Structure 1
Amino acid sequence: MGTPARTPARARVRRPRPARRVVAAFAIAVALGTAVLMLPVSSRSGEVTDFFDALFTATSAVCVTGLTVVDTATHWSFFGQVIILALIQIGGLGIMISAASIGLLLARKLSVAGRLNAVTEANVIEFSDVRGLARNILLISLIVEAATALLLFMRFLWGYGYGVGEAVWLGLFHAVSSFNNAGFALFSDNLIGFAADPFICLPICAAIIVGGLGFPVLMQLRREFRHPLRWTMNTRLVLSVSIVLLIAGTLYITVLEWSNPRTLGHYDPAARILIGFFQSVQTRTAGFNSVDIGQLHDETWVGMDVLMYIGGGPAGTAGGIKVTTFAVLFFILLTELRGEASVHIFGKRLSRAVHRQAISVVLLSIAFVMASVIALMLITDLPFDKVLFEAVSAFGTVGLTTGITYGLPWPAELILSLLMFVGRLGPLTIGTAFALRDRRILYEFPEERPAIG
C-alpha cells in the first residue's frame, strides 16, 4: 500500500501577503527605472549612465526623495527627465494605487487582489473604500498638479522670459515634483535662484503641504470641509500637528539663520521670512532648497533632522515616521505622566494596538537610520552631523543634502538607496513582507511586570 495522502486538516494554507506584493512592485519599478535611465538616450551626453548612479536616481524618484548623485538639469536628456517625472508620479501616488486607478479607468472594475494590495499600501483605508480611493486620489492629484503647473508656467513665462514650451515643461515638472514631495528640480542650484520670489516659492509650498497631508485627509476635507466635528481623529491629528510643526520650523530656521551671511543674512527681512518658511515646508519631506543647506548652522541641521524624521501625514506622498505616529507617542507619554489608564485624543480612546504600532515604527526607524549612519561613517571619512543629516533625509524621503551625496562611493549610494526604499514603504510594511511566519497565537503566557526607568 502506498503512503496515505495528507489530509486537508493537516495541510498548510498559504495566506496571501499583500505587503510582499507592494514591496515587489516598488522594487520592480526601481529596476525598470534603472534600466531605462542607463540607456544612452536618457543622458544628455548620449553615453550609458553608470549603474549605481542610475539605480540611485531611480530609487530616489520612485521613493519621491530627491537626493541626487548627478545633476538632474545637465546630466539627463529631456527623455531622461520625462522618465524621472513618470517615476515620481507613479511612486508618489503608490504603485498599487496607480495600478488600481488605471484598472478603474480601463475596465471600470477592480479585482479583490487589487483591492487588497491598495489597502495594504494605503494602510489606513478600509477595504470598501478602495474604488473611491483610486478615483479620488487620481482626481485630487491632477487638480493640484494642474493648478500649480499653471501658476508656475505663468511666472516662468512672464517673469523670467522663458519660451512657451520651456515654461510649460518647467511648470509641469516642478508641479509634479512638488505635489509628490519629491524635491527634484531642473536647475543646477535647485531653487536658490528663486529664493526671494514668492510667485515661485509659495505655489510650490502649497502643493507640498497639500500632498504631505495624505490622501485620506484630503478626501475627508473635500467631503466635509465645513463640518469639522465630523472629522476623524486622523484628520484632526494631521492638520493640528502639521500646522504646529510648520510654524515651529519656520521660527526655528528663520531665527537661527537670520544673521548668517551664507544663507539668510544678505536678504531683506521679507525674503528671510519667506526662505525660513520655504525651508520649513521642505523638511516635511519635499527636499527643494532655496539656500545652500551645507552653509546652515549645525544647530539648524539638528532641528531639521527632527522635522525630517517626523515627516508628514500617512497614506500620502510624505515620508518620515508620520505626524500621527509622533502625536500618538506624545499623548501616550502625556497619559503616563498623568497616571491615567488609557490614552484619549479629541474625546476618543486610542486603541492599544496603535500604541504597539507607533512604538514599533519608531524603534525600527531608529534602528535603520543608526545602522546606516554607522555603515556610512565606516565607508567614508565624513563627520557625524553631515552623515546623520543625509541618512535622516533619505529615510524621511526628504532629499535635502549638505552636499556630500555627489562624492559618495557606490557602497554608500547603495545604503542610502536602501534607506530611501525603507522610508517610502515604511518599516512595518518591510517587516511584514519579510516576516518568516504569520500565525495567530491561541494562548497567553502568565503576566508579569519588570521595573521600568
Structure 2
Amino acid sequence: MWRRPPLLTVAAFAAAIAAGTAALMLPVSHAAGERTEFMDALFTAVSAVCVTGLVIVDTPTHWSVFGQWVILGLIQVGGLGIMTLATVMTLLVTRRINLRLQLTAGSETKSVTLGDVRRVVLGVLGFSLVFEGLTALVLTGRYLAGYDYALGRALYYGLFHAVSAFNNAGFALYSDSLMGFAGDPWIIVPLSLALIAGGLGFPVWIEIWRRRRVRRNARWTLHAKITIAVTAVLLVFGPVMVTALEWGNPETLGPMSVGDKLLAGFFQGVVPRTAGFNSLDYAEVNTQTLLTTDLLMFIGGGSAGTAGGIKVTTFALLAFVIFANVRGERSVTVGDRRLAGGVEQQALTVALLAVGLVFCSTFVLTVITPFTLDQLLFEVISAFATVGLSTGITADIPVGGQLLLCFLMFIGRVGPITLAAALALRTRTRRIEFPEARPIVG
C-alpha cells in the first residue's frame, strides 16, 4: 500500500476521519446537557475532513469549545491535505524529503515535477496561513466594531470562520449559518474572497506568484487560463441567476433593500463553489434556484484547491471535446494547444463517475426517505461536491442515508480517479491490440 501514493492518500484521509470521530466522542467535546451518538461524531468528522459543511447536529449548541476546535483542526487538515501536512512536518523535522513522500505530496498537490514539491508544499502552507490570517483579522475587527464582541470571542469567531471559508468547509458558529449577516459587507465580502481564493486551486496561485516575481512575460499554462476564465464566467453567472430568480421571493430576497439583495445574491451565487455557508434559507428558495445551485455545485472549483465538484477544468474540457466533435475535428484544440487523448479520457471518466454516483445515490434516497426529488438531488450533489448546502433535511435522513452521504463526501474529497487508482490492486498492460471497430453512436 505504501508504494502507491493514491492509496496512501485515501488511507490518510480515513485515518484522520477515525481520529476525528474518536475525539468528538469524548465527553469534553459536547456541550453540557448534550449527548453525542457515534453517528453524530462520524458524520461531523467526515464532513469536516472532507471540508463539506453538512451537519446533523447544531455546531454552536451541540459541541463544546473543545469540540469546535477539533472540528476546526479537521477542516484545516482536510483542506491542506493529509499528505501536504505530512510532507511539511518532515521538512521541518529532518530538513530533507525522500522520494516516497515526494510522490505522495505530488499526488495530493497535483505538482508537475518532483523537484517542485518542496516549494509547492511550503508555498501552499504559507499562502493558506497568510490568507486565513488576513481574513480572520478583518472579521475580528468587524466583530469588535460592529457587534461589540469581547476580544477573545471576536478572535475566535474570526479565526473559525476564516479557516472554514478558505478551506471551503462552510461550518459556522451560528445556528442559522450567516443569515444574520446577509446585509453586512464587512462579513460577507471577506468570506467570499476567502472561499474564492481557496477554491481557485493552488497550482493557479503558484503560477500567479511566479509570474509576478520571476517571469512576468511568460505564457500562462493552459490549466491556469481555463481555470481563471471559467471561474470568472461562473462568478458572474451564479450571482446573476440567484439574484434574478430570488429577487421577488418574499421568503428570501423579497423583503431586503436593493443593496442587501445584491449582496446576498452575490454571496449565494459564489458559495456553491463550494462552501456551505448560506445567508438565505434554502428551504424557501425557488425550485429554479435549487436547480441552478445544483449545476454550480456539480461543476465546483479549481483543481488541487479546497473546492469540490468535478472541477472547472473538467467541465471546460468536456465542452471543448463536444465542440470539436460537432465540428468534425479529429483532435481537440484549446487555443494554440492540442489536448492529449489521455486528458480527454480522464475528464470523461470523472464526469461519468460523478453522474453515476449522483444518480444512484439520489435513487436510493428516494426509496428510503419521504423527501421530494429536488430536495434529495440537492442534498446528494451538495455531499458529493463537498459543498455543505442543505434544504434542512440532513438530520432527518435515516442512518443508512446519512452513511451514504458520508461515502459521497469522502469520494468527493479524495476524488473519483484517486480512489479508483487506490483501490486497484495492480495495473494491467494490454499486450495484444484487437482490430478496431466503430459502433453506431446516437
Which interval holds the TM-score relative to the shorter structure?
Answer: over 0.9
After superposition, residues 83-94 of structure 1 pair within 5 angstroms as 83-94=70-81
Q: For residue 214 of structure 1, report the CA deviation from its aligned partner.
A: 0.5
Q: Give the aligned residue type for 1:296.
A: V
After superposition, residues 285-296 of structure 1 pair within 5 angstroms as 285-296=274-285
Q: Distance in 1 between matches of 2:200 and 2:83?
A: 19
2:132 to 145, 154, 179: 145
Q: What does the per-residue CA deviation read over 1:387-432, in whole Å, with 9 as the maximum and x for residues that have no partner?
A: 0000000000000000001212211110000000000011111111
Q: Distance in 2 between matches of 1:295 and 1:108?
A: 54
**TM-score w.r.t. length of structure 1:** 0.95
Which secondary structure does the structure 1 equivalent of 2:376 belong to? helix
Q: For residue 319 of structure 1, report the CA deviation from its aligned partner.
A: 0.3
Which secondary structure does the structure 2 equivalent of 1:26 belong to? helix
Q: For residue 170 of structure 1, report the CA deviation from its aligned partner.
A: 0.4
Q: For residue 46 of structure 1, report the CA deviation from its aligned partner.
A: 6.2
Q: For residue 48 of structure 1, report the CA deviation from its aligned partner.
A: 4.8
Which segment is superposed worse, 150-159 or 219-228? Answer: 219-228
Unmatched segments (≥5 aa) in structure 2:
none
Conservation of the 8 A alpha-carbon contact between 1:42 and 1:78: yes
Q: For residue 103 of structure 1, report the CA deviation from its aligned partner.
A: 1.4
Quote the residue 1:341 is aligned against.
Answer: 330
After superposition, residues 349-364 of structure 1 pair within 5 angstroms as 349-364=338-353
Q: What does the per-residue CA deviation read over 1:247-275, in whole Å, with 9 as the maximum and x for residues that have no partner?
A: 00111100000000100001111111111
Which segment is superposed worse, 42-51 or 395-404? Answer: 42-51
Quote the residue 2:268 is aligned against.
Answer: 279
Q: For residue 377 of structure 1, report the CA deviation from its aligned partner.
A: 1.4
Q: For residue 124 of structure 1, report the CA deviation from its aligned partner.
A: 4.8
Conservation of the 8 A alpha-carbon contact between 1:39 and 1:48: no
Q: For residue 47 of structure 1, report the CA deviation from its aligned partner.
A: 5.3
Residues 1:30 and 1:46: Cα distance change in structure 2 (over 3 Å): farther
Q: Give the aligned residue type for 1:171.
A: G
Q: For residue 110 of structure 1, report the CA deviation from its aligned partner.
A: 1.5
Quote the residue 2:52 is aligned against.
Answer: 65
Quote the residue 2:370 is aligned against.
Answer: 381
Which secondary structure does the structure 2 equivalent of 1:184 belong to? coil
Q: Give the aligned residue type for 2:52.
A: T
Quote the residue 2:100 is aligned against.
Answer: 113
Q: For residue 435 of structure 1, report the CA deviation from its aligned partner.
A: 1.9
Q: Give the aligned residue type for 1:264.
A: L
Q: Distance in 1 between matches of 2:311 and 2:217?
A: 22
Q: Where does structure 1 differ by over 4 angstroms across 4 or more consecutive aligned residues?
A: none
Quote the residue 2:441 is aligned against.
Answer: 452
Q: Distance in 2 between matches of 1:323 and 1:179?
A: 18
Q: For residue 122 of structure 1, report the CA deviation from its aligned partner.
A: 2.3
Conservation of the 8 A alpha-carbon contact between 1:319 and 1:423: yes
Q: Give the aligned residue type for 2:200.
A: L
Q: Distance in 2 between matches of 1:139 and 1:347?
A: 34
Q: Give the aligned residue type for 1:430.
A: L
After superposition, residues 10-159 of structure 1 pair within 5 angstroms as 16-45=3-32, 48-159=35-146
Q: Distance in 2 between matches of 1:312 and 1:234?
A: 13
Q: Give the aligned residue type for 2:46.
A: T
1:320 to 309, 312, 315: 309
Q: Give the aligned residue type for 1:290.
A: S
Which secondary structure does the structure 2 equivalent of 1:167 belong to? helix
Q: For residue 117 of structure 1, report the CA deviation from its aligned partner.
A: 1.1
**TM-score w.r.t. length of structure 2:** 0.97
Quote the residue 1:268 is aligned against.
Answer: 257
Which secondary structure does the structure 1 equivalent of 2:283 belong to? helix
Please provide the CA RMSD for this pair.
Answer: 1.3
Q: Distance in 1 between matches of 2:4 and 2:181?
A: 46
Residues 1:73 and 1:47: Cα distance change in structure 2 (over 3 Å): closer
Unmatched segments (≥5 aa) in structure 1:
1-13
Aligned residues: 440
Q: Please say if 1:185 is aligned against 2:185.
A: no
Q: Distance in 2 between matches of 1:327 and 1:228?
A: 25
After superposition, residues 168-317 of structure 1 pair within 5 angstroms as 168-225=155-212, 227=216, 230-317=219-306
